[in-house]
Amino acid sequence: MKKLLCVDLDGTLLNCKKELTEENRQAVRLAYERGMEICIASGRTYGAASAYLKEMGIEGSVVALNGGQVVHRDVEILRETMAAEVVRAAARIILATGACGYFNDGSRTIVVNGSQKWKGSNPQPMEFLSDEELIHWLESEQTGIIKVSIQESDGERLEMIRSCLSGLEASIAKSDVDYLDVYGKQQSKWTGIEALLRHLNIKAADCVAFGDNENDYEMIKHSGLGIVMSNGTEKLKALADRITSSNEENGVANGLYKWVL
């Protein structure tokens, strides 16, 4: 049996209502009870991702912010930050387009053009800045930003923003339907998983990964067993070792029972 299970959240472990179903919870919990190390590999923050480990009663790991921060059993083993000039360039594009921007340093999230509704439920501190305050913050501080996320519900506008970002020395990938992530050029969920594999002394061949979107590309490609959801992108499904059912049909549970457990 594989030794490390890495699973994405949005569009993968969670259904379209962002819920962890009982079927998926039981399957991941069974893998844990049979001795597998469990890792949430997500574009989300460590606090947001680790909440699902707690919900499942699992002591595990989180590869957060698309590989920029790795935490094993509450101990941080990796943190990679972006070049300040890339962060500032992304910020200028966000301000020019009026999109919602999230700037995360692994401990807090700076938000511009965002809704305050998330403030009470987010496990990490959130600071909401005006355009002018954001510009001042970027000019006056060493940002230490790991990942910038851009939220735009209009698909055409999101692709327009992607084209504006394309000249940056950064990785750019969708993490959800209306989210575009900007992060380090050499960074990916897989680079974070590699750091975890070294820490745990586990080989890449003994890693199984579940994903659905652009930011899962490298971990599906390099894991010993890459399983993609049927709702995943066509490019990702072309890389898959196996294709499971959708996130609305408990695809993680189905894939675990069929090919792993």
Q: What would the pLDDT profile of 148-190 be if each residue is shown by its tens digit?
A: 999 999 999 999 999 999 999 999 999 988 999 999 999 999 9
Q: pLDDT at position 116, please?
A: 60
Residue 176: strand, helix, or coil: strand
67: left (phi over 0), alpha (psi -120 to 50) or beta: left
b (16+ CB within 10 A) / e for 113-129: bbeeeeeeeeeeebebb
Choose among 122, 127, 152: nearest CA to 46: 122
- Name the pTM for this structure: 0.93
CA-closest candidate to residue 46, choices 149, 146, 123: 123
Burial class of 22 by CB neighbour count within 10 A (0 to 12, 13 to 18, 19+)? exposed
Please give the average pLDDT of every successive group of 10 residues along the chain, which has 261 residues: 95 97 98 98 95 97 98 96 94 95 93 69 79 87 87 95 95 93 96 98 98 98 98 98 98 98 95
pLDDT at residue 142, as a whole number: 63
User: What fold is seen in the domain 84-184?
Assistant: 3.30.1240
φ, ψ of residue 214 to 5 degrees: the values are: -60, -35
User: Is it true that domain 4-79+187-260 has CATH number 1.10.132.20?
Assistant: no
Q: Please state, in angstroms and rounded to a whole number, the distance separating the CA atoms of residues 180 and 173.
A: 6
CA angle 237, 243, 247 (to 5 degrees): 95
Kindly report the CA angle at 82 between 163 and 79, in degrees rounded to 5?
135
Domain boundaries along the sequence of the chain: 4-79+187-260, 84-184
Instruction: Using DSSP, state whether 158 is helix, strand or coil.
Output: helix
Q: Tell me how far the alpha carbon of residue 242 is from its chain's centroid.
A: 21
